[in-house]
A and B are shown apart, each in its own frame.
Chain A
Amino acid sequence: MNGYKFLKNPWVGPFLALLVLLLLFSFLSPDTFARSANLTTMLRQTAVLAIASVGMTLVMVQGGIDLSVGSVVAITTVVVARALRADLGLGEVVVLGVATGAIAGLVNGLLVNLLNITPFIVTLGTMSVLRGAAKGLANEQKIDANPRGLDAWMAPVQQGEPWLFPAGVWLAMILAALAALFLAYTRWGRHVVAVGSNADNARLCGISVERVRLLVYVLAGLCAGIAGVLEFSTLTVGDPTDSVGLELEVIAAVVIGGGSLAGGQGSVAGALLGAFLLTTIKTGCTHVGVPNWVQEIVTGVIIVVAMGVDRLRQKLR
């Protein structure tokens, strides 16, 4: 392994961009941005996006896309809120929330398989369906519920506690590590890459493309469900209008991290860096006092620049 080879890793680009931005904001706002408390705050703010990005990475590596992720997160917060109000046990509430996401993913996967419609269209449909369902389930208003400790999953760590980050951040990291190992080292994981790379060939080699597809949509739904539970922990209300446009941020995170809309490429580590990069831009701009509209422009520019850098990298190899 020489230094040159190291540069060919897909996550190197976003990593360097992240480093540059962190240094830049630390320089511009040394008193507030460059503090460990701020760093953990940013990690907390990234957790939901990061977990959703892990699921999206699997879907995109397989060659699909999931536009319904924002709606899944929203309906999950509503389900969790209603379950808490119905006095279900905390464990049951969490399972119900995560299951909501998994079922949504299952429906996405089944529709893509059975109707043979492109995932973009299928999930565009379920995005709208689930958003509407969330609003119906919540009677078009936010649902307050006693979080019964669920809020602690995303709350800042108290003084003197040893675990550095709240549970939600750890959960995101563990999920990401599992997904990365799954993708790189297991037979199913390699089959996901194979299908995204060349579905016809995978089918020829006896791989059930439909099963692989179903698997990634269910896993992505599962991730979106977990993200939804954490979103509720953050908000402590069930909000059917939450996370509109989240899917675009999630896709951006995956793409910044080296993912390709054509499938076959993408890495969990890259997606995490991409997600953290997006949070860094938001937080940093706020700290420096840059207005919201500039933040949006900066985010867009970063996405396109990341793509350009990726093309250059591909040329190098």
Chain B
Amino acid sequence: MASPRLVVEAVSRAFGPTQALAAVSLTVQAGEVHALLGENGAGKSTLMAIVSGAERADAGQLELDGVPYQPQNPGEARALGVHMVHQEPHLCADLTVAENLFLGSEPVRYGWVRRQSLLAQARQALWRVTSASNPIDPATLVSKLSPSQRQLVAIARALAQPNCRLLILDEPTASLSQADVAALFRAIREVSQAGVSVIYISHFLEEVGQIAMSYTVLRDGVNVATGDIAETSPKELIQKMAGRKLGDIFAHTERQPGPLALRVTDLCGEKLPKGASLELFRGEILGISGLLGAGRSELLRGIFGLTEVRSGDVLVGAFKGGVSPKTQIGKVHRSATPAQRLAQGLGLLSEDRKQEGISQKLSVAENLTLSRLSALGAFGYVSSRRQLAVVADWIARLGIVCQGPLQRASELSGGNQQKVAFARLLYHNVDVLLLDEPTRGIDVRSRGEIYRLMDAAAREGKAVLMVSSYLPELLGVCDRIQVMRHGKLGEARRASALNEHDLLAEAMLNS
């Protein structure tokens, strides 16, 4: 029998006092699609960094097709046919798609790039992964591509390598639409039939069930389970990952709907939305579903004043939070700056945590209090003593895992960064929480905690407006859901009366 494609044997790795991996083992056969599962911080990233050459193991062995394998850097791993596509793909925005696809291995004659041959090769590489509904022109600059197109280009680049034996995909579908996911899965099946092995990291367990053959679950740097996907249900997988019984991670306690908090009427932006209307009440969570590009983020950003509003009305209810209300009840504010919206009691949680949601270089304390430093001292003075006390309190209340208020935000895990961003809204004491993909890319446990925070906020009488692409989450935590399609919102319906199929059908089908 042929040796397996990849054998990881008792690999360990420590970062300072933290043991990221402790004697982890993993076997992937040729042509196998293997799911690597676990919460953020479970050691998946470290393990894959070792396999792809970005990190080195302290102990243990790796074998690639029966041959000892010790890549010293990503370049060496690539030369041996091991390619990793990161969650936020690294591409050169100022080069064309074709140049990115073959960067470092361009067809050249005497040092001159052969453009026609480059474009032809690129077309072939793209054809494998793109759907007819989302074609990519190899001559366009990457800076002009959407996030999902960039993701596809990065995957196409890995698959285009003639030596590709092992492909590692880290959350490849986080930014993809349904059609693109289908095209990607088709491409994965195709290459796996051709003998390429795929390690697939994802938090979307439904997807994992569709594409993977086998799985390994890591928890706290240790193997906890491995087996066939077909024999394990998503619920069992979640249990193994979290290591505790999770009947239902979606918190949804009894809430009392209160008075109107926000009314949006026929809101139109520069491109999107195109006449969206909604009513949001205190004490409820309203969910916005829909496909990528339907204009959901644009709706939230338009309401919050981050993008220009062309027409339509935004009516904000009276603000009872910690900052003195500057606005009259029922007054119409078509467009406003984010500062004005904050003063009116609105707060936005960005879908782009790394770039926008959190200032990576600032400390936990600075991030948490940034929108309301005025409460920490008079005449522009910021009392660090008060700041630390306030922040220490929030860290304890939300269970933010960090060394302390002064730790840099960039050093926190994704889930804890998100909790800091959420805590900023709570510290500001906003009445209307606009949450854009609040649980994107964070682990199961942090997800559950974010859901509980949302539930608690609604129960306190705050109003929550959540945009999400993850349907079980919308159905699990929302009171009502509206589906967005081509920039317009559909009718609001009770979540309890809906299922995933209803939401998908409304988002995708012509009524």
Contact = CB atoms under 8 A, between A and B. Distances in A.
A206 B82 CA distance: 13
B144 A201 contact: no
A129 B99 CA distance: 40
Contacts of B78: 204, 206
Interface string A172-194: 00000000000001111011011
Contacts of A193: 92, 94-95
A317 B92 CA distance: 17
A265 B94 contact: yes
Residue among A193, A194, A202, A205 with max Cβ neighbours from chain B (10 Å): A205
Interface in A116-132: none
B115 to A, nearest CB: 8
Interface string B66-82: 00000000110011000
A203 B91 CA distance: 11
Contacts of B112: 185-187
B94 A187 contact: no
B95 A197 contact: yes
A206 B93 CA distance: 17
Contact of A206 (B75, B91, B95, B111): B75
Nearest to B107: A187
B75 A188 contact: no
Most chain B Cβ neighbours within 10 Å, of A187, A202, A203, A207: A187
B92 A186 contact: no
Contacts of A166: none
Contacts of A205: 103-105
Interface in B93-140: 93-95, 99, 103-106, 108, 111-113, 115
A196 B108 contact: no
A194 B111 contact: no
Interface string B271-291: 000000000000000000000
A316 to B, nearest CB: 12
B144 A198 contact: no
B90 interface: yes
Contacts of B90: 198, 200-201, 204
A252 B104 CA distance: 32
Interface in A197-219: 197-198, 200-207
A263 B115 CA distance: 23
By CB atoms of chain A within 10 A, which of B90, B93, B94, B113 has the most?
B94
Nearest to A208: B75
A306 B221 CA distance: 54
A186 B111 contact: yes
A203 B79 CA distance: 13
Given A202-B103, A206-B78, A197 B111 contact: no
For chain B, the bracket of interface size reads 20 to 34
Contacts of A203: 74-75
Given A201-B90, A204-B90, A207-B103, A190 B111 contact: no
A186 B78 CA distance: 23
Contacts of A13: none
Interface residues of A, number: 22
A11 to B, nearest CB: 16
A264 B104 contact: no
Contacts of A196: 94
Contacts of A198: 90-93
A164 B361 CA distance: 57
Nearest to A186: B111
A187 B79 CA distance: 19
With most chain B CB atoms within 10 A of its CB, the pick from A185, A190, A203, A204 is: A204
A205 B92 CA distance: 11
Contact of B93 (A190, A191, A197, A204): A197
Contacts of B104: 191, 202, 205-207
B144 A194 contact: no
B144 A185 contact: no
A190 B94 contact: no
Contacts of B113: 185-187, 190
Contacts of A207: 103-104
A206 B113 CA distance: 17
B395 to A, nearest CB: 32
Contact of A190 (B74, B75, B99, B144): B99
B92 A264 contact: yes
A243 B90 CA distance: 40
B99 to A, nearest CB: 6
A187 B75 contact: no
Contacts of B93: 197-198, 264
A194 B74 contact: no
Contacts of A185: 112-113, 115
B95 A187 contact: no
A312 to B, nearest CB: 15
Interface centre among A185, A196, A197, A207 (most CB of B within 10 A): A197
Nearest to B93: A197
Nearest to B103: A205
Nearest to B92: A197
A177 B151 CA distance: 36
A190 B144 CA distance: 18
Nearest to B102: A205
Contact of A201 (B75, B79, B91, B106): B91
A224 B465 CA distance: 59
A206 B144 CA distance: 24
Contacts of B99: 190, 194
Given A187-B106, A187-B112, A201-B91, 20 more contacts: A185-B115, A186-B112, A187-B108, A190-B99, A190-B103, A191-B103, A193-B92, A194-B99, A198-B90, A198-B93, A200-B90, A201-B92, A201-B103, A202-B104, A204-B78, A205-B105, A206-B78, A206-B79, A206-B104, A265-B94
Interface of B: 74-75, 78-79, 90-95, 99, 103-106, 108, 111-113, 115, 144
5 contacts: A186-B108, A194-B92, A197-B95, A202-B92, A207-B104
Interface of A: 185-188, 190-191, 193-194, 196-198, 200-207, 264-265, 317
* Closest A-B pairs by Cβ, 3 of them: A201-B90, A264-B94, A197-B92
